[in-house]
Structure 1
Amino acid sequence: MFLDIEKLKRLARTTTVSEVELNRVLNKAKELKGLNLDDVAILLAVESKEHIQMLLESAALVKKEIYGNRMVLFAPIYTGNHCSNNCLYCGFRAANKDLKRISLSKDDLVKETELLLKEGHKRVLLLCGESNKTPLESTLEAIETVYSAEYNGHKVKRINIEIAPMEVDEFKVLKTANIGTYTCFQETYDPELYKEYHPTGKKANYEYRLNVMHRAMEAGIDDVGVGVLFGLADYKFEILALLEHASSLEKEFGCGPHTVSVPRIEKASGAPLTENIPFPVSDDDFRKIVAIIRMAMPYTGIILSTRESTELREELMHYGVSQLSAGSKTSPGGYSDSEDNSQFSLGDHRSLEEVISNMSDAGYIPSFCTGCYRKGRVGNDFMDLAKPGLIKKFCVPNGLTSYAEYLHDFSSNEVKEKGLKLIDKLAEEIPFPEIKEMTKKSLQEINVGKRDVYL
């Protein structure tokens, strides 16, 4: 196993940090080279409001240097809620007899996708569950179905996929399905607690899940997304383990995770652990989590779901988060059916347009960009641009053009007016003359009806 559990737990017990050590690590973070485990242990020991604010401000600088002020938006689609596992924190667990079990048909999937397209979404996360009833063939069919759906000429441009761990040969087949990022959460890296929280089902195998990203990347999957469900174990240990996981992938494949997700446990019907969270994570701790991951892995996308409140999501955009779900439903068929069969409760109930309007007010670019994925800037090629901060030469222009397309085709007049003003302002601020002129030309083409414009 590539994790040294005892070493990580020892580092997680670091309790004191001097001003000199803190400033050294924060200055190192601003070099955009990432941080090692000892550096991160120092940051995790920070407790005072003043020092947490120092972390946040340093993380904000790192994020701005790497990604600029664009925020990628997406929505999840659940294909079903059948499950063969018994995770104590999940509403979909097999032992939850009160949950109405659903598997979406092809027609259902098309309807769900059309409703998201009607709102303006272009990127989706397809969650196919961990049931014996959803073999790889069913997942491939679901991917094809979502890509085939259409609304007034608009189609989904990128599908990220979250399914149960598989073997290398199966991942090779999945790669042929035109997916974006393959995502799978370890949930907790603590092997003893993992065993306690996953009493039955295939997911009970800790090491099989731990090594899933190694198998996926061995199979040629370019981009992978990792994550922890914060609240299952000591968050300090979890962050250190997550970073060691990323380091292992980097050493073996030359490329770390494309994204990191940072969900906290939320209440879920039929999930006993959510009634008494084992290791509660406060909002200040959560701010630390986002800031530290941003500084330790400056190149990675940090994903924040609608589990969190509107206020906290808007705050953390400034300090490290680079991707947000918006207008989300966490039940199969949730976009077309008001019946609640959610996996967990939500904290942000805003529509996509409300999220975009608030984001625009804060000076951020709501981005539906899929340019890197479609141009082949994935895996190592993406990291070669992201690590030195060059990726924003594409992120900002493509964010602006995808936002302009949304404003012309989907938004209200009020949001359109202020959005186009923001686009004009930010286009003028692009520091690369050639990129600025290309962006302005693309925006003019969009104004007269051209679509799907990206660098």
Structure 2
Amino acid sequence: MYDNLTDILEKARECHGLNEREVDLLLSAPHAGDEEIFAAARAVKDKVYGKRIVLFAPLYISNLCSNSCLYCAFRAENTGLSRIHLTQAEVREQTEHLIRMGHKRVLLEAGEDKTFTPIDFVLESIRTIYDTAVDGHNIRRINVNVAATTVEDYRQLKKAGIGTYQLFQETYHEETYRYMHPRGPKSDYTYHLTAMERAIDGGIDDYGLGVLFGLYDYRYEVRSLLAHAKHLKEAKGIGPHTISVPRLRPAKGATYPLGHVVNDLEFARLVAILRLAVPYTGLILSTRESPAMRDFLLDVGVSQLSAASVTTPGGYGRPDKQESGQFSGFDHRSLDECVDSIVSKGYVPSFCTGCYRHQRTGKAFMHMVETGDIKEFCQVNAILTLAEFVAHFGSDTTRSGAQEKWEEWLSQIPDPVARQRVRHDLAEVLKGERDIYV
């Protein structure tokens, strides 16, 4: 048992995670120890995933919703919100906009309404997205964040070829949960909490957890989130592929005051603690945060970012329609600007979908992460997918920035034979070859 900051962080650097007592001690440690915590989290992320940062964009297909979540613009009572339900032609159009930006990964999202957004509508939209191409470019991985549902529905999502299924508990504090969700199907705390068990029973082997930080005390939420992850890993044999850390932001028509505000330092600390406690998971940060905050959190544990996000259905390419989004965003940079910024900080932006297509998912993925084997795949695929982006979509500035880094990144591949192979593949991609991955 470790009972002081130095010993706990020394243990954490071994990438075996932390127990409940150790997490509690980090959560309650004086802020004077933050730099040590941040440094340990940085080391763990680098040891597990290297310098790659995965990029994606959300694709909202409907903001019709039968729930009454007090913090959300999509809530049923919000008569000031323009309701939008995309046709399949509009789903295709939105997908084309994302492809033209250079995106390869999307997160499909929708409000919960069994009449207008049943599982069949979600499945049809998945098919449309996968079937859409622009000049030979396409979306290669669709992750899904839709309402808690049945085992059979999860089977259908798995059959449709989704990547990760995400669902956030929002808050684990039951009394607060019931207050925040007074009406609608989401008001059932237990049904929502047990959704991931049904998802795994339905064949979903990559799943993502999350909390909306700011609804209740963040320390309670971190403990509960980690307890949930531990329970699922022990009961089902699979820990969370990702953990998302959205922070409560203003939303048009929301009625909940910002009562449990998580300040920037607290937020950075909780992100770092999650990285140390669950080293194998991908930590996802959205455009709810400012560019400066997103840049900083890359250094303390975040490994995936949404970029150039629009939370209004039909909003890509339509600035006039972006007032019907789910929440207020604070990072309005283009995808190219995000890529250039990440490169300038020494990280490798990644559009990789290799693990999914090589069946490195679920238990197989977790084993590779826990043994340290996934890093070599991450680095290679990040380099190759970034090269594809700059060759076809990048600005001159972004292309030049990446050009200065190729040799540095290649030198980080320890096996000389593998390094030479990747150097060859990189040259092919920069000449126009597409979709090379390991």
TM-score tier after normalising by the smaller chain length: over 0.9
Aligned AA (1:208): Y
Aligned AA (1:53): E
1:91 to 70, 73, 88: 73
String of CA shifts for 1:224-263, please: whole Å, max 9, x gaps.
Answer: 0010000001100100100010001110121100000000
Corresponding position of 1:321: 302
* Distance in 1 of aligned mates of 2:64 and 2:412: 49
Q: Does 1:241 align with 2:228?
A: no
1:69 to 16, 26, 51: 51
Aligned AA (1:120): G
Q: Does 1:443 align with 2:406?
A: no
Segments of 5+ residues of structure 1 without an aligned counterpart are: 1-18
TM-superposed CA distance for 1:47, in Å, is 3.1
Corresponding position of 2:106: 124
String of CA shifts for 1:165-212, please: whole Å, max 9, x gaps.
Answer: 111122111110000000000000001110111000000000000000
Aligned AA (1:403): L
Q: 3-state SS of the aligned residue for 2:58?
A: strand
Is contact 1:79-1:127 (8 Å) kept? yes
Is contact 1:404-1:420 (8 Å) kept? no
Aligned AA (1:199): P
Corresponding position of 1:397: 380
Scaled by the length of structure 1, the TM-score of the pair is: 0.94
2:184 to 184, 188, 201: 201
TM-superposed CA distance for 1:53, in Å, is 1.2
Corresponding position of 2:84: 102
TM-superposed CA distance for 1:336, in Å, is 2.6
Q: 3-state SS of the aligned residue for 2:405?
A: helix
Is contact 1:86-1:199 (8 Å) kept? yes
TM-superposed CA distance for 1:278, in Å, is 2.1
TM-superposed CA distance for 1:219, in Å, is 1.2
Q: Does 1:29 align with 2:12?
A: yes
TM-superposed CA distance for 1:319, in Å, is 1.0
Q: Does 1:112 align with 2:94?
A: yes
* Distance in 1 of aligned mates of 2:167 and 2:35: 31
* Distance in 2 of aligned mates of 1:138 and 1:129: 12
2:316 to 335, 343, 361: 335
TM-superposed CA distance for 1:445, in Å, is 1.8
2:408 to 399, 402, 425: 425
Q: Does 1:294 align with 2:278?
A: no
Q: Does 1:375 align with 2:358?
A: yes
Q: Does 1:157 align with 2:140?
A: yes
Scaled by the length of structure 2, the TM-score of the pair is: 0.98
* Distance in 2 of aligned mates of 1:447 and 1:432: 22
Is contact 2:391-2:431 (8 Å) kept? no
Is contact 2:3-2:22 (8 Å) kept? no
String of CA shifts for 1:72-99, please: whole Å, max 9, x gaps.
Answer: 0000000010000000000000000100
TM-superposed CA distance for 1:20, in Å, is 6.0
* Distance in 2 of aligned mates of 1:47 and 1:281: 16
Larger mean Cα displacement after TM superposition, 252-261 or 421-430:
421-430
* Distance in 1 of aligned mates of 2:81 and 2:429: 46
Q: Does 1:352 align with 2:338?
A: no
Q: In the TM superposition, what are the counterparts of 1:276-295 in structure 2 within 5 Å? A: 276-295=257-276
Is contact 1:404-1:423 (8 Å) kept? no
* Distance in 1 of aligned mates of 2:3 and 2:364: 36
Segments of 5+ residues of structure 2 without an aligned counterpart are: none
* Distance in 2 of aligned mates of 1:302 and 1:421: 28
* Distance in 2 of aligned mates of 1:308 and 1:366: 18
Is contact 1:233-1:279 (8 Å) kept? yes
Instruction: Count the aligned residue pairs.
Output: 434
Task: State, as a whole percentage, how many aligned pairs show the same letter.
Answer: 45
Q: 3-state SS of the aligned residue for 1:79?
A: strand
* Distance in 1 of aligned mates of 2:176 and 2:399: 49
2:36 to 30, 54, 71: 54
Is contact 2:55-2:349 (8 Å) kept? yes
* Distance in 2 of aligned mates of 1:97 and 1:47: 45
Larger mean Cα displacement after TM superposition, 439-448 or 281-290:
439-448
